[in-house]
Amino acid sequence: MTEQPAFPFPAARPVLELAAVTKTYGEQPPVSALRGVSLTVRQGELVAVVGPSGSGKTTLLHVMGTLERPTDGVVRINGIDIADLDDQQLAAVRARSIGFVFQQFFLAAHTTALENVADGLLYAGVEVGERRRRAAEALEQVGLAHRRRFRPGKMSGGERQRVAIARALVGRPAILLADEPTGNLDSTNGASIVALLHRLNAEGATILVITHDSELAARLPRQVHVLDGRIVSDSAADATVGGRR
Amino acid sequence: MNTEAITAPARLRLGDQARLASVGIRSRPLRAALSALGIAIGVAAIVAVLGLSSSSQAGLLAEIDRLGTNLLKATNGQTLSGKEAQLPREAPARLSMLDPVEQVAHVGTVADAKAYRSPLVPATHTNGLQIRAASLNLPSVIATGIAHGRWLNEASATKPVTVLGATAAQRMGIDRVYPGQRVWLGGQWFYVAGILRPAVLTTEIDTSALIGYPAARQYLNHTGVSNGKPADGHPSTVYVRAVTERVGAVQSVLARTANPKAAGEVDVSQPSDALTARAAAEGAFNSLFLGLGAVALIVGAVGVANIMIISVLERRSEIGLRRALGATRRQIRTQFLAEAVALALIGGAVGVTAGVAATAVYAKTQGWAVVIPVESWVGGIASAILIGALAGLLPAIRAARLSPTEALRTV
């Protein structure tokens, strides 16, 4: 893959690299969810991957997040080729280098916002006192310091998604992958989440948002359009760089 | 960045493992309680059965201790021709001359005389009661006492006066003693002087109406012959208290001494044997109830396995999230296995507590010492842990097998 000048930090280190990634499900007939995707996300970027449902963007998220291995092609996280890692090491990569935010939040209902955020550090081997201390910081960062003792059930959808974002960011991952982060929110709450993502990005977080909402995508600095398992356009590069080979 | 530092999986600390194991229990406490209940019942049954049998055994042994194991009994047996034999009149006196013998008491069954509440009672309604002439030291030798009224004395032993055994009094419907109270013994009114407490070692005394030898001779024709002259009747049973260490020696010569001419016509027994046998037999019920406890445990295990399988299905998204947060398959498996063990352990602990409490309450009402064998509660807890592990294994493996994307796709 040739080096492309990337917006906004051309010289920044790549944190996520996909090269000619394909993903095929099933045997007969095989279903191709990804058909040769190449994409580089550099440190400090805020990227939207946008496409209609069925375009393969959720599979792309799973492959980028190392939840699934590609059928073919190369995936590098922080320069490490995940093909060289076994399942346990992949889990460790997720624990330390990748943060996930889901449309459904996936918060534990029986415990507090603070504990939910602290769980983001559990599998990185951080001791419980330190987990809580850093969770409190992360909650402050997303503007929910006053809600740390609340259970998710007592919070609004926007607040819940902020808790989920705090949980994803508490381990200072190399990249934050957000899957339809505003999908379950009304427009006001959605806008505030987008504003939060902008602010966190300005503070240094690398964020990739997957969405079907092109309006939301338009508000982010870089848009990557996906259709039928291919990248059809990438605002940060020539249209040819995407996936048409 | 250093590849090793990023890709080495972190180990969970014990405290974190415990916290993870309690996630399901804390989020659904009622369900957890109900599924632990089965195991609690099983463990409680096992602990209570073992505790109760040990406590009742301890109670019996204490009773045996109190009553003493040094009581021997020589009873008239049968002659060669199958007729009822007679103990010689001199038997008690001869037995008391044996060196290790401390005390001798005796009773003589009054033949052909029955005891009734009143003459109006039909003759066939004997209630299984017997009239026995008794030596005056009988209560102390057989380790019983007076429940109501007074025991016989030198004077009342010559008069138509009786003391009823505990069962005899009960069957006649007499529960207290008042002046002028009479019963109909052998066609004659006898005044009731007292009622005995139950004689545990010698239950034949319980079903007796006891009178003095002189009274038996005078009023009920219970007579013998001494040196050619009429005398008190023959004893039918001689009770002997011997020095505890030499009970065996006394027992071996008891028959010969009591009736030198026909030792074979004397039945010798040690009444405490029956109680000792009962103490040993207390274990007989155990296997049945232990079996029931085991069945309850198995049912409890099925309950826990069932709950865990449902839990794994319901918590797919939690599993997917944890995998996304960096949990390895092994960590997911350990979490669910530990949760099943924790459930079973809670059940086991509650069961042991309930079993001990049941034992304590019952033992208190029976006046026994509370004895909980160590192996019962250790075994109860250990089997709960084992059962939890077995019940949780399959669900935990299923949880770990779930691929993260599959787990996240649901909802």
pLDDT tens sequence across B46-77: 899 888 888 888 888 888 888 888 889 999 88
Residue A154 CA to residue A29 CA, distance in Å, equals 47
The pLDDT, as a whole number, for residue B264 is: 85
Instruction: Give the residue among B45, B135, B63 at the shortest CA–CA distance from B95.
Output: B135
B2 in a structural domain: no
B238 in a structural domain: yes
Q: Tell whether the model's pLDDT for residue B341 goes beyond 50.
A: yes
Mean pLDDT of all residues in B301-309 = 90
B1 in a structural domain: no
Instruction: Pull the structure tokens for residue A58.
Output: 């959720």
Of the pLDDT bands very low, low, confident and very high (cuts 50, 70, 90), residue B86 is confident
Are B349 and B36 in contact, with CB atoms under 8 Å apart? no
> Are residue B286 and residue B268 in the same domain, yes or no?
no
B5 in a structural domain: no
Q: Tell whether the model's pLDDT for residue B32 goes beyond 80.
A: yes
B385 in a structural domain: yes
Stretches in chain A below the pLDDT threshold 50: 1-6, 238-245
> Are residue B78 and residue B197 in the same domain, yes or no?
yes
From the number of C-beta atoms within 10 Å of its C-beta (0-12, 13-18, 19+), residue B180 rates as: exposed
A127 interaction partners in chain B (CB closer than 8 Å) = 13
Residues sharing a CB contact under 8 Å with residue B254, sequence separation 6 or more, in sequence order: B72, B74, B95, B240, B266, B268
Angle between helices A87-97 and B329-366 (to 10 degrees): 90
Q: How far apart are the first and last CA of chain B?
A: 37
> Are residue B220 and residue B344 in the same domain, yes or no?
no
**CA distance, residue A243 to nearest chain B CA (Å):** 24
> Are residue B222 and residue B285 in the same domain, yes or no?
no
> Are residue B252 and residue B103 in the same domain, yes or no?
yes
B408 interaction partners in chain A (CB closer than 8 Å) = 67, 102
Domain that residue B385 falls in = 13-63+280-409
Residue B106 CA to residue B119 CA, distance in Å, equals 29
Query: What are the Cα distances from residue B233, in Å, to B125, B192, B208, B221, B223?
Result: 26, 22, 17, 8, 4
Last residue in a domain, options B277, B308, B328: B277
B3 in a structural domain: no
B146 beta partners: B196
> Are residue B55 and residue B23 in the same domain, yes or no?
yes
Nearest residue, CB atoms, B9 vs list A79, A91, A127:
A91
Structurally, chain B folds into a number of domains equal to 2
The pLDDT, as a whole number, for residue A239 is: 38
From the number of C-beta atoms within 10 Å of its C-beta (0-12, 13-18, 19+), residue B343 rates as: buried
B286 in a structural domain: yes
For chain A, domains (ranges, CATH) are 14-241 (3.40.50.300)
Average pLDDT over chain B, rounded to whole? 89
A91 interaction partners in chain B (CB closer than 8 Å) = 9, 323, 326-329, 331
Between residues B96 and A239, the one the model is more confident about = B96
B405 interaction partners in chain A (CB closer than 8 Å) = 62, 67-68
Residue B232 CA to residue B239 CA, distance in Å, equals 18
Contact A92 B326 (CB under 8 A): yes
> Are residue B231 and residue B294 in the same domain, yes or no?
no
Residues of chain B that touch chain A, judged by Cβ-Cβ distance less than 8 Å: 1, 3, 5-13, 15-16, 19-20, 23, 26-27, 317-318, 320-331, 403-405, 408, 411
Contact B26 A85 (CB under 8 A): no
Q: What angle do CA B136, B139, B141 make, to 5 degrees?
A: 95
Last residue in a domain, options B247, B277, B307: B277
Instruction: Pull the structure tokens for residue B143.
Output: 């380790």
Residue B411 CA to residue B409 CA, distance in Å, equals 7
> Are residue B130 and residue B255 in the same domain, yes or no?
yes
A102 interaction partners in chain B (CB closer than 8 Å) = 321, 408
Residues sharing a CB contact under 8 Å with residue A98, sequence separation 6 or more, in sequence order: A65, A66, A77, A173, A174, A175, A176, A177, B324
Sign of CA dihedral B207, B212, B213, B216: negative
**CA distance, residue A128 to nearest chain B CA (Å):** 8
Complete edge-to-edge strand list for the sheet that includes strand A46-50: A98-101, A175-179, A207-211, A46-50, A222-227, A230-234
Of the pLDDT bands very low, low, confident and very high (cuts 50, 70, 90), residue B285 is low
Are A6 and A42 in contact, with CB atoms under 8 Å apart? yes
Compute φ and ψ for B115, nearest 5 degrees.
-110, 130
Residue B261 CA to residue B185 CA, distance in Å, equals 34
β-strand B229-232 against B189-196: which pairing, if any?
unpaired
Q: Which of A53, A67, A116 would best serve as a mutation to test chain B binding (most B beta carbons within 10 A)? A: A67
Instruction: Pull the structure tokens for residue B222.
Output: 């219970």
Residue B36 CA to residue B395 CA, distance in Å, equals 16
Q: Tell whether the model's pLDDT for residue B211 goes beyond 90.
A: yes
The pLDDT, as a whole number, for residue A98 is: 96
**CA distance, residue A161 to nearest chain B CA (Å):** 14
> Are residue B36 and residue B136 in the same domain, yes or no?
no
Mean pLDDT of all residues in B189-213 = 92
> Are residue B268 and residue B157 in the same domain, yes or no?
yes
Residue B202 CA to residue B151 CA, distance in Å, equals 17
The pLDDT, as a whole number, for residue A5 is: 47
Residue A101 CA to residue B373 CA, distance in Å, equals 55
Are B6 and A96 in contact, with CB atoms under 8 Å apart? yes
Residues sharing a CB contact under 8 Å with residue B386, sequence separation 6 or more, in sequence order: none
Nearest residue, CB atoms, A67 vs list B12, B16, B404:
B404
> Are residue B229 and residue B295 in the same domain, yes or no?
no
| pLDDT tens digits, one per residue of A214-226 | 999 999 999 999 9
B20 in a structural domain: yes
Are B171 and B125 in contact, with CB atoms under 8 Å apart? no
| pLDDT tens digits, one per residue of B324-336 | 999 999 999 999 9
Last residue in a domain, options B277, B293, B322: B277
**Residue A177: closest CA among chain B residues belongs to which residue?**
B324
**Residue B316: closest CA among chain A residues belongs to which residue?**
A106
> Are residue B168 and residue B222 in the same domain, yes or no?
yes
Residue B391 CA to residue B344 CA, distance in Å, equals 9
Residues sharing a CB contact under 8 Å with residue B24, sequence separation 6 or more, in sequence order: B32, B311, B315, B339
A95 interaction partners in chain B (CB closer than 8 Å) = 9-10, 325-327
Which spans in chain A are helix H? 57-64, 87-97, 113-118, 128-141, 157-169, 187-202, 214-218
Residue A126 CA to residue A119 CA, distance in Å, equals 10
**3-class state of residue B48 by DSSP:** helix
